[in-house]
Amino acid sequence: MDQFRNVFVDELATRVEQYSQLSEGEKVLRELNEAIVSTQASVVSQLNETARTMGGQVQRIEKSYLEGAARFQQLGDEMPKAMKEWFEHAKDTQTEFFKSFDEESAKVFGHLVNIAEILHSGGSIQLAQQRLSGAEA
């Protein structure tokens, strides 16, 4: 009987030690699980923050794109009118330039004709200058 008792006591001690080790292992696993859950919550929180930040950036990019597209459309719509105005102004400026050029050229050629007539009729350059001075006044 003593032998059974000794075996029983040894078996009980072994089982108590195993239970103690299992309890310690369970404690370590529980702490590890808590750390994993905490890490997961932190990761989820970081992912949510990243998603919120990216969403804001996407909204700003979309707003900028829409504003740029609207401005580009406006420029495209205004371009024909602006070009027409520019060409009309260029035409008017060119017409005025050549009109003034023609008028001034006519005056110069008129003076040259007068000088040629005076010189042809035997007059002097001084006489031609006097006539031109009188004609301009």
Over the chain (137 residues), the average pLDDT of each successive run of 10 is 77 86 87 83 86 92 93 92 94 93 91 81 69 63
Chain centroid to CA 47: 29
Burial of 123 (0-12, 13-18, 19+ CB in 10 A): middle
Place of tokens 């042809």: 120
The answer to whether the CB of 125 falls within 8 A of the CB of 131 is: no
Where in the chain are the domains?
2-136
* pLDDT value at residue 15: 85
* pLDDT value at residue 128: 65
* pLDDT value at residue 124: 66
Place of tokens 């009109």: 99
Q: What is the pTM (predicted TM-score) of this model?
A: 0.42
**Residue 130: closest CA among 104, 108, 111:** 111
The answer to whether the CB of 99 falls within 8 A of the CB of 109 is: no
In three-state form (DSSP H/G/I as H, E/B as E, the rest C), the secondary structure along the chain is CHHHHHHHHHHHHHHHHHHHHHHHHHHHHHHHHHHHHHHHHHHHHHHHHHHHHHHHHHHHHHHHHHHHHHHHHHHHHHHHHHHHHHHHHHHHHHHHHHHHHHHHHHHHHHHHHHHHHHHHCCCCHHHHHHHHHHHHC
The answer to whether the CB of 114 falls within 8 A of the CB of 128 is: yes
